[in-house]
């Protein structure tokens, strides 16, 4: 179980906090707005009212024990940056920040945070990819152009074996697992017969995955 602090409980911070809780982590949420904090109080591990532009208030939160501090203040760029400066001066090891502009991105990269998130851009790219490859449920990059993708098996492929589906597919593509409702088959054999609504999890180069994804619809 990880320990996360989320500073700023707007839509973004709230969604991140609730998802972390669902995944079994401990979450401290911080906001200046008492209504927001009251609303979150029984949904996350701790919810605290504090103004994070105040270094002392921030220090009192004891954030150095947390795995990651996520700064999710959007509109008030000055407050977000000041908070990051204070977190750095408190030697908080891992800071992730939601950014809203390129200027803010530039300053954050100079301050040296672990990750800068641009939710609108990142979501826009994901939506474009989902529109272009509707069969791809989800994907993660693991570096060097390699991706793990999750693909829904269509009705058309009901009863087809993996070997038929993967015919002509380069052997640089690996089937990591097949999910069938609650059942997971890790490294399925090539004679494995697919059913509609199975979920295939593949590993390979993005370019190759893109060429084979349409064969699965």
Using CB under 6 A, list all residues that contact ligand ATP: 7-13, 30-33, 36, 51-53, 73-76, 79
- Phi and psi of 73, rounded to 5°? -90, 130
Minimum CB distance to ligand ATP smaller for 17 or for 32: 32
Which is nearest to 40 in space by CA: 67, 65, 71, 13? 13
72, 16 Cβ separation under 8 angstroms: yes
> In sequence order, which residues have a C-beta less than 8 Å from that of residue 56 and are 6 or more positions away?
none
Closest CB 82 distance from ligand ATP, rounded Å: 8
84, 97 Cβ separation under 8 angstroms: yes
Minimum CB distance to ligand ATP smaller for 73 or for 136: 73
Residue nearest to ligand ATP (CB): 74
Closest CB 106 distance from ligand ATP, rounded Å: 19
**Counting Cβ atoms within 10 Å, is residue 157 exposed (0-12), middle (13-18) or buried (19+)?**
buried
| Dihedral of alpha carbons 200, 125, 146, 18, sign | negative
Minimum CB distance to ligand ATP smaller for 124 or for 145: 124
Minimum CB distance to ligand ATP smaller for 71 or for 166: 71
Closest CB 61 distance from ligand ATP, rounded Å: 11
C-alpha 58/C-alpha 56 separation (Å) is: 5
Closest CB 100 distance from ligand ATP, rounded Å: 7
Which is nearest to 153 in space by CA: 170, 166, 171? 166
Minimum CB distance to ligand ATP smaller for 53 or for 104: 53
Closest CB 66 distance from ligand ATP, rounded Å: 16
């Amino acid at each position: 179980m990880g320990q996360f602090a989320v500073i700023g409980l707007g839509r973004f911070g709230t969604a991140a906090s609730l998802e972390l809780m669902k995944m079994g982590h401990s979450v401290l949420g911080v906001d200046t707005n008492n209504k927001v904090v009251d609303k979150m109080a029984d949904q996350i591990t701790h919810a605290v009212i504090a103004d994070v532009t105040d270094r002392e208030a921030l220090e009192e939160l004891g954030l150095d024990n947390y795995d990651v501090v996520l700064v999710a203040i959007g509109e008030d760029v000055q407050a977000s940056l000041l908070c990051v400066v204070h977190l750095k001066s408190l030697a908080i090891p891992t800071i992730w920040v939601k950014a809203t502009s390129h200027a803010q991105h530039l300053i954050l990269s100079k301050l040296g945070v672990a990750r800068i998130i641009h939710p609108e851009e990142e979501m826009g790219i994901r939506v474009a990819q989902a529109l272009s490859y509707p069969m791809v449920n989800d994907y993660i990059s693991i570096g060097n152009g390699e991706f793990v993708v999750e693909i829904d098996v269509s009705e058309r492929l009901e009863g087809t074996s993996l070997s038929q589906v993967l015919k002509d597919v380069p052997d640089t593509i690996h089937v990591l697992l097949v999910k069938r409702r609650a059942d997971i088959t890790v490294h399925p054999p090539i004679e494995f017969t697919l059913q509609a609504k199975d979920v295939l999890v593949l590993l390979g180069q993005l370019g190759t995955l893109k060429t084979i994804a349409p064969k699965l619809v």
